[in-house]
Amino acid sequence: MSKLTAGGRFRKALEETNPLQIVGTVNAYHAMMAERVGHRAVYLSGGGIANASYGLPDLGMTTMNDVLEDVRRVSSAVETPLIVDIDTGWGGAFNISRTIKETIKAGAAGCHLEDQVAQKRCGHRPNKEIVSTEEMVDRIKAAADAKTDDDFFLIARTDAFQMEGLNAAVDRAQACLEAGADAIFAEAVHTLDDYKAFADGIKGANLLANITEFGATPLFNKTELAENGVNMVLYPLSAFRAANQAALNVFEAILRDGDQKAVIDTMQTRMDLYDFLNYHDFEQKLDALFKEGKNK
């Protein structure tokens, strides 16, 4: 039997897990930890890449190559399939086509492509602008046509719910599915009833809920979401936010106290770090190589 591609591994995880939880991992090490504890899909947020890798706000300021660098790092470190935020695709049809091809080459299992204008904003902020349904459909067609792996999972993200209401958002989502999208990412949905209506409107097609903290969507439980038609649940920046607060606490304690004793209990130990990295396996291999060299 031939080995599944990254896209194939994602589709297998989605088929076997309902709902499939997809956790944000802002770097390769976080992805390794998520994989070790049993998560079956990981995610790179465009906002997370901008924030963590470049110190920029989530305002469409990063490039395709900026994102691909982090995609390669994560996909090289884990077998767990990776979903990537490609924002608006970085241009017109030819740019979107190139983005899809390069994202597959970099090892991603899938991506989501959104319907905001190129000068995009965070999906949970005011004053967003979206393109017409026709333009979004053209984006999805370009992306679907560019796939070099049939199993690469293409998600159409729409911000239309917050901008134009449920019916318009459902109509747009259905058009995206007909254009070749494998799933719908309904951004900034407010209630479980809205998710149920959305799922019914797209006739039970794959539906992703973005359960991000401090945003427009409550922190619904995965069981609640599954009962209302959602089969993918995304947690884009949960671990990143927790790590940021932990780091801030350490920086402040060291400055205040002159040492890190008060926060040592909040840190991952050296041995746990080594365990996730399989450090000792590398060290033993190094020892064996040096021993062989000495015996020659």
pLDDT along the chain (296 residues), means of 10: 87 98 98 98 97 93 96 98 96 96 98 81 61 94 98 95 88 96 94 95 96 94 98 98 97 98 96 93 84 64
Q: What is the pLDDT of residue 1?
A: 41
Binding-site residues for substrate, in ranges, read: 45-47, 122-123, 157, 187, 210-212, 241, 270
Active-site residue, selected from the candidate residues 9, 30, 51, 58? 58
Please give the structure tokens belonging to residue 239.
């671990």
pTM over 0.85: yes
In the chain, which ranges are continuous DSSP H helix? 6-16, 28-37, 46-48, 54, 64-77, 93-105, 133-146, 160-164, 166-179, 192-201, 222-226, 238-257, 270-277, 279-295
Q: What is the pLDDT of residue 2?
A: 55
Q: Which residues of 87-98 are buried (b: 16+ CB within 10 A; e: fewer)?
A: bbbbeeeeebbb
Active-site residue, selected from the candidate residues 9, 39, 139, 157? 157
Domain ranges of the chain: 6-237, 244-291
User: Is 190 annotated in the active site?
Assistant: no
Note the CATH number of domain 6-237. 3.20.20.60
User: Is 221 annotated in the active site?
Assistant: no
User: Is 36 annotated in the active site?
Assistant: no
User: Is 87 annotated in the active site?
Assistant: yes
Active-site residue, selected from the candidate residues 51, 210, 228, 231? 210
Q: What is the pLDDT of residue 58?
A: 86
Please state, in angstroms and rounded to a whole number, the distance separating the CA atoms of residues 29 and 103: 20
Q: What is the pLDDT of residue 293?
A: 57
Length of the chain: 296
User: Is 43 annotated in the active site?
Assistant: yes
User: Is 98 annotated in the active site?
Assistant: no
